[in-house]
Structure 1
């Protein structure tokens, strides 16, 4: 008995083509992953800056609306890098204290060693001008310099981190 094979063109990839495809994918990943990590760190820094500015503005607006003093302070001691909170007086029953934490490896530091910013019912700060520095653990990258004026105006500028 004679067995006949069907002859025709076979489709598919050879092992060489698969190896080249994997090598190209590896090179692309080696380039893309560090760039993606840097993008994540930049976004975390921006997010932390936005959260801090939101907390400052919220504390000031709440002080005016509630007609009482509202305090923005670090969660633990004088370490703003661990996070910050808006603290309402015990007489305010309608609002709960709010906590904010930095995103990623971002750290916020008070350049004037402030342990709190208290906004009075007229919207003015009792701390005078408060300066904060925001950087992350990447060396030589840009961070943010955040300044809160005695009137509650917030400026957010690019700063060189070392």
Structure 2
């Protein structure tokens, strides 16, 4: 009688079998494998958007700074060395360090974002806030976006194709 009671209690235990747990883990692994590529694409797009926003803000700040300071200002992505960027301004080497800091803006571009070959890598604004028209194209993953800046500093964004 004691043995029959023990068997009944054992069958009434609550829990999962090892096979049920393995099947559940396998299903979750399959779902995760299917979702991973879209997460990578989403991450690349967010980094590209952030870099575009930084570059756009830097261009707007550069134009404003040139007008307010009444001196030339150059905007280069941080992938361009500060000395190289500053060399675009006449007599850059003779400026004081504070003048150099005020005349060079370097927006931060994410490491995974690249500048397309053939794009401009700087914009120089004269004391009136005017620049030579140019286009910079940023690439991330399989997507590219171009920022075109015309003379008076109007920025146009264009979604591009594959880099």
Query: In proportion to residue count, which structure has more strand?
Result: 1
> How far apart are residue 6 of structure 1 and its match?
7.7
The worse-fitting range, judged by mean Cα deviation, of 82-91 and 147-156 is: 82-91
Matched, 1:129 2:133: yes
Task: Using the TM superposition, give the Cα deviation of residue 109 of structure 1 relative to its aligned residue in structure 2, in angstroms.
Answer: 3.4
> Does structure 2 conserve the Cα–Cα contact (< 8 Å) formed by 1:111 and 1:131?
no
> 1:37 corresponds to which residue?
40
Deviation (angstroms), 1:59: 0.5
**Equivalent residue pairs, number:** 149
**Residue 102 of structure 1 pairs with residue 109 of structure 2:** yes
Deviation of 1:100 after TM superposition, in Å, equals 3.0
Runs of 4+ in 1 over 6 A off after TM superposition: none
Residue pair 2:77, 2:109 contacting (<8 A) in 1 also: no
Contact 2:121–2:136 (CA under 8 A) maintained in structure 1: no
Structure with bigger gyration radius: 2
Pairs within 5 Å for 1:11-160: 11-73=14-76, 75=78, 82-83=79-80, 90=95, 93=98, 96=101, 97-109=104-116, 111=118, 114=120, 116-125=122-131, 128-136=132-140, 138=141, 141-160=142-161
Q: Which ranges of structure 2 fall in alignment gaps of 5 or more residues?
A: none
Please tell me the root mean square deviation across aligned C-alpha atoms, in Å.
2.9
Quickly say closer, same or farther: Cα 1:67–1:74, change in 2 above 3 A: same
Residues 83, 116 of structure 1: CA spacing in aligned structure 2 closer, same or farther, 3 A cutoff?
closer
Question: Which sections of structure 1, spanning at least 5 residues, go unmatched?
Answer: 76-81
Cα distance, 1:54 vs structure 2: 1.1
More helix by share: 2
Distance 1:161 1:84, change over 3 A: farther
